[in-house]
């Protein structure tokens, strides 16, 4: 989450001090990301099914979290919906977060009340050891300020002096190793990365970060609001680094799904990848700095989910715009909180489906959409979001058949004729979710 450095210094310094305070001597060493937990195998076919299809479990398996101490729930009805770097000090504020559909604090201020978090039914992943915590957060965006390397870490963070020793070397791997060594035994570790892993480092360098240093991983690219992300050396990665992206190519919800896919490919599907979506104005005011809109938030969230994100984290800080605050979802009036609440309610209601296997190859689409097919309780679901700024018409062909596509939360249905149905996507933020009635499960 790269913002104007001056505007971000206070928040970054606090986060860094939290992480530095947590570094203690220990014997725990990082290891490779584990595969699915026992008892969470990928379901297999029980009968004949059409060729070109694969039943793919969610990354890490549904039971992934159960292997850790004081874990996040592994039940199918739970889907992590987090907020970044909040404070949990007063019951009324925590209740307000719960009412918005949040269930997890990802990084907390050091004065937060973890007893209040737990008794309220929330979960916490702080940067310090806590008896009530369900995880332990390592360094944020270490790929950018530490770099890909094993040199000695001085213990400094950005703005505190030389980071690595020798000063010109890279020590990001060392930073995460030392921070992980401070984690309580058995706790789930989590880390977020930035433009190094997504744009600047080689696949080999990036893979070392995302597969060897923590259990759950995310990366933050703010496609709708970052003033610099459309440049050749950043978002230009979408076109092989050949040139800058146009506004239509860059300011697109589908790119949040690209970020998730980038990290998923590096982890080879062995661990949960969570997605970051901004909910305010995360950069200081300038010519290219903007505030994300409610439709953009929903579309970015669903693009991430379509591409396999196993959790959502909202960046809740605004450094410009009409509501400068560290608590956008608590403080800012307007459309954002209701929109985030609505999408969180939708995620929660569909959590069993989101946690169910993907049925890859069961649906094909012609038109400007990204889509995913899910198999839950012998029922087929198709989730689709526009991947062009102008939207358009898409036709879906279903190998498992069906008579009707029920458009979830839109109070309409679409007839399926000869295995196909067609729908309209108004613009780049259009998302439609379908429950397929009258079809089969293709033998799974």
pLDDT at 124 over 80: yes
pLDDT at 34 over 50: no
pLDDT at 355 over 70: yes
Average pLDDT over the chain reads 91
Q: Which of 127-131, 287-291, 305-309 has the highest mean pLDDT?
A: 305-309
CA distances from 212 to 34, 196, 267, 312 (A): 10, 16, 9, 22
Question: Global pTM?
Answer: 0.91
Backbone torsions φ then ψ of 375, nearest 5 degrees: -120, 115
pLDDT of residue 5: 39
| Angle subtended by helix axes 336-349 and 294-306, to nearest 10 | 30
pLDDT of residue 11: 43
Identify the CA nearest to 101 among candidates 344, 354, 351.
Answer: 344
pLDDT of residue 152: 98
- 136-153 pLDDT, tens digit per residue, is 999 999 999 999 999 999
Band (pLDDT 50/70/90 cuts) for residue 116 is very high
Structural tokens at position 75: 């039940």
- Helix H, strand E, coil C: the string for the chain is CCCCHHHHHHHHHHHHHHHHHHCCCCCCCCCCCCCCCCCCCCCCCCCCCCCCCEEECCCCCCCHHHHCCCCCCCCCCCCCEEEEEECCCCHHHHHHHHHCCCCEEEEECCCCCHHHHHHCCCEEECCCCCCCCCCEECCCCHHHHCCCCCCEECCCCCCCCCCEECCCCCCHHHHHHHHHHCCCCCCCEEEEECHHHHHHCCHHHHHHHHHHCCCEEEECCCCCCCCCCCCCCCHHHHHCCCCCCCHHHHCCCHHHHHHHHHHHHHHCCCCCEEEEEECCCCCCCCCCCCCCCHHHHHHHHHHHHHCCCCEEEEECCECCCCCCECCHHHHCCCCHHHHHHHHHHHHHHCHHHHCCCEEECCEEEECCEEEEEEEECCEEEEEEEECCCCCEEEEEEECCCCCEEEECCCCEEEECECCEEEEEECCCCCEEEEEEECCCCCCC
CATH topology of domain 358-437: Immunoglobulin-like (2.60.40)
pLDDT of residue 47: 52
Is 379:137 a contact under the CB 8 Å cutoff? no
- 363-375 pLDDT, tens digit per residue, is 999 999 999 999 9
pLDDT of residue 50: 80
The residue-averaged pLDDT of 83-109 equals 97
The residue-averaged pLDDT of 403-407 equals 98
The residue-averaged pLDDT of 333-354 equals 98
pLDDT of residue 49: 75
- Maximum alpha-carbon separation in the chain: 67
Q: Is the dihedral of CA 384, 387, 391, 394 positive or negative?
A: negative
Task: Please give the Cα distance from 306 to 302 (Å, whole number).
Answer: 6
CATH topology of domain 5-41+64-354: TIM Barrel (3.20.20)
The residue-averaged pLDDT of 375-384 equals 97
Task: Please give the Cα distance from 152 to 163 (Å, whole number).
Answer: 9
Task: Please give the Cα distance from 16 to 322 (Å, whole number).
Answer: 28
The residue-averaged pLDDT of 57-65 equals 95
pLDDT at 408 over 60: yes
Strand order in the sheet with 379-386: 54-56, 358-360, 369-376, 379-386, 431-437, 404-407, 412-415
Q: Which residues of 281-300 are buried (b: 16+ CB within 10 A; e: fewer)?
A: bbbbeeeebbbbebbbbbbb
Percent of the chain with pLDDT over 90: 86
The residue-averaged pLDDT of 181-189 equals 97
pLDDT at 123 over 70: yes
pLDDT at 21 over 50: no
pLDDT at 44 over 70: no
pLDDT of residue 179: 98
Percent of the chain with pLDDT over 70: 89
pLDDT of residue 144: 98
In this predicted model, which residue has the larger pLDDT, 116 or 17? 116
| Angle subtended by helix axes 254-267 and 203-212, to nearest 10 | 80
Give me the residue spans of the domains in the chain: 5-41+64-354, 358-437
Band (pLDDT 50/70/90 cuts) for residue 33 is very low
Task: Please give the Cα distance from 22 to 25 (Å, whole number).
Answer: 10
Task: Please give the Cα distance from 424 to 434 (Å, whole number).
Answer: 13
In this predicted model, which residue has the larger pLDDT, 19 or 237? 237
């Amino acid at each position: 989450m790269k913002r104007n450095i001056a505007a971000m210094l206070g928040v970054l310094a606090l986060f860094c001090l939290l992480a530095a305070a947590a570094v203690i001597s220990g014997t725990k060493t990082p290891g490779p990301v584990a595969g699915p937990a026992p008892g969470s195998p990928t379901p297999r076919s029980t009968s004949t099914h059409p060729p070109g299809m694969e039943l793919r479990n969610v990354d890490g398996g549904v039971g992934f979290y159960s292997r850790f101490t004081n874990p996040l729930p592994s039940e199918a009805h739970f889907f992590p919906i987090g907020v970044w770097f909040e404070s949990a000090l007063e019951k009324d504020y925590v209740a307000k977060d719960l009412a918005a559909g949040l269930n997890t604090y990802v990084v907390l201020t050091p004065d937060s009340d973890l007893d209040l978090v737990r008794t309220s039914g929330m979960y916490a992943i702080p940067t310090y050891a806590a008896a009530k915590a369900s995880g332990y957060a390592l360094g944020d965006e270490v790929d950018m300020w530490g770099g890909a390397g094993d040199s000695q870490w001085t213990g400094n963070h950005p703005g505190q002096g030389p980071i690595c020793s020798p000063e010109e070397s890279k020590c990001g791997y060392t930073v995460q190793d030392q921070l992980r060594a401070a984690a309580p035994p058995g706790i789930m570790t989590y880390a977020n990365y930035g433009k190094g892993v997504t744009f600047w480092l080689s696949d080999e360098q990036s893979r070392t970060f995302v597969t060897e240093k923590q259990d759950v991983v995310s990366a933050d690219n703010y496609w709708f609001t970052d003033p610099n992300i459309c440049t050749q050396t950043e978002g230009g990665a979408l076109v092989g680094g050949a040139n800058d992206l146009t506004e239509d190519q860059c300011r697109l919800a589908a790119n949040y799904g690209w970020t998730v896919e980038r990290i998923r490919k590096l982890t080879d599907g062995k661990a949960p990848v969570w997605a970051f979506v901004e909910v305010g104005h995360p950069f200081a005011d300038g010519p290219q700095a903007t505030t994300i809109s409610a439709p953009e938030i929903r579309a970015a969230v669903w693009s991430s989910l379509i591409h396999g994100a196993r959790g959502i984290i909202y960046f809740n800080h605004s450094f410009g715009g009409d509501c400068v605050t560290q608590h956008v979802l608590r403080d800012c009036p307007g459309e954002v909180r209701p929109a985030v609440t609505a999408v969180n309610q939708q995620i929660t209601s569909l959590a069993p489906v989101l946690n169910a296997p993907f049925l890859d190859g069961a649906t094909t689409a012609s038109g400007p959409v990204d889509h995913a097919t899910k198999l839950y309780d012998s029922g087929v679901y198709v989730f689709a979001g526009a991947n062009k700024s102008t939207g358009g018409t898409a036709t879906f062909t279903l190998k498992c058949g069906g008579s009707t596509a029920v458009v979830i939360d839109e109070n309409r249905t679409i007839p399926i004729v000869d295995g196909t149905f067609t729908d309209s996507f108004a613009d780049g933020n259009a998302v439609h979710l379908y429950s397929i009635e009258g079809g089969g499960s293709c033998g799974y």
